[in-house]
Amino acid sequence: MSFIEVERSARSDSWTMQDLHSHPHYEIYYIYEGSRQLLLANALHHIQAPSVLVIPPNVMHKTEGGPFQRYNVDVSPEYLNPFQLHVLNERALRVMKLSPQQNQVFLELLRDMAEAHSSAKYGRYILEGLFAYFLVALSRVDLASQPSLAVDHRVPPLVLKVIDHLYAHYQERLTLDGLADRFFVSKATIIYNFNRYLHCSPMDFLLNLRLTKAKEELLRTDKSICQIAEECGFGSANYFSLIFKRKEQLSPGNYRKYQRGKT
């Protein structure tokens, strides 16, 4: 079925999608205020506004994080002409950082597209024209310095289920034995699949997830280091500080001061 939908969303608090999901259409994700964590099938990525990301059909993903404002454009492959398909496929799975000038163009276009989408008279034709111009603007975003988010579409269901479980329960005490029991497989099977598809162990993935959550708490709250360590699943504040400094070359407290000083 051929379709295009434009949706604006804004939240003043933290919000997490419940489950990894995929869909048979393209999703153009444009965030113009705030930041989000994007969990693709094989990694967790930080997306800072203003940025745009093209998620192609049938790629597992979900987002979470603090306050944000964004537009989503969902469009079926059947709606697109060959040039538009080329633009979206060429730019798929890249977090494209926008310059202030590009952001202004994108913001005005998406606002007009959302208004046209909800308009009854001639709205469909106006939306078609605006979307065509939007993809021309997107085609002009230089890809040379834009990182690609590599996704292996063959990631097996077991890995996706384990990731989703880690994402939902990272605050709890989790062990490899517990994961093996929960998913009725051996520890070796989980380790093998994570190393093959994610290039890390399940416990390393969990540690990076906890560190990502801790960074968010350090920046958006005034919670103590002890409280953040506990809420993010670390055994103690000392262990949290040791791991954090090893990864970031800064203590949690100094990381908070440094990052807040940049804004």
Question: Using one digit for the tens of pLDDT, what is the confidence trace for 112-162?
Answer: 999 987 777 788 899 999 999 999 999 999 887 666 665 555 567 888 889
Compute, in degrees rounded to 10, the torsion defined by CA atoms 169, 170, 176, 182. Answer: 10
Residues of the chain with CATH 1.10.10.60: 157-261
Extended strands (E) in the chain: 4-11, 15-16, 26-40, 43-48, 51-55, 61-65, 68-75, 96-97
Question: What is the CATH topology of the domain spanning 4-139?
Answer: Jelly Rolls (2.60.120)
| Confidence check: pLDDT of 9 > 60 | yes
d(CA 130, CA 127): 5
Report the C-alpha gap between 252 and 214 in whole angstroms: 9
Enter the pTM of the model.
0.64
pLDDT at 58: 73
How distant is the alpha carbon of residue 94 from its chain centre? 11
Architecture per CATH, domain 157-261, reads as Orthogonal Bundle (1.10)
Per-residue pLDDT reduced to its tens digit, 50-91: 999 999 987 778 887 778 999 999 999 999 999 999 999 999
- Is the torsion defined by CA of 234, 239, 244, 247 positive or negative? negative
Residue 253 CB-half CA count within 13 A: 6
| Residue 65, beta-bridge partner list | 15
The CA distance from 37 to 45, in Å, is 6
| Residues of each domain in the chain carrying CATH 2.60.120.280 | 4-139
Report the alpha-carbon distance of residue 123 to residue 118 in Å, rounded: 7
> Closest Cα to residue 72, out of 134, 20, 133, 15?
134
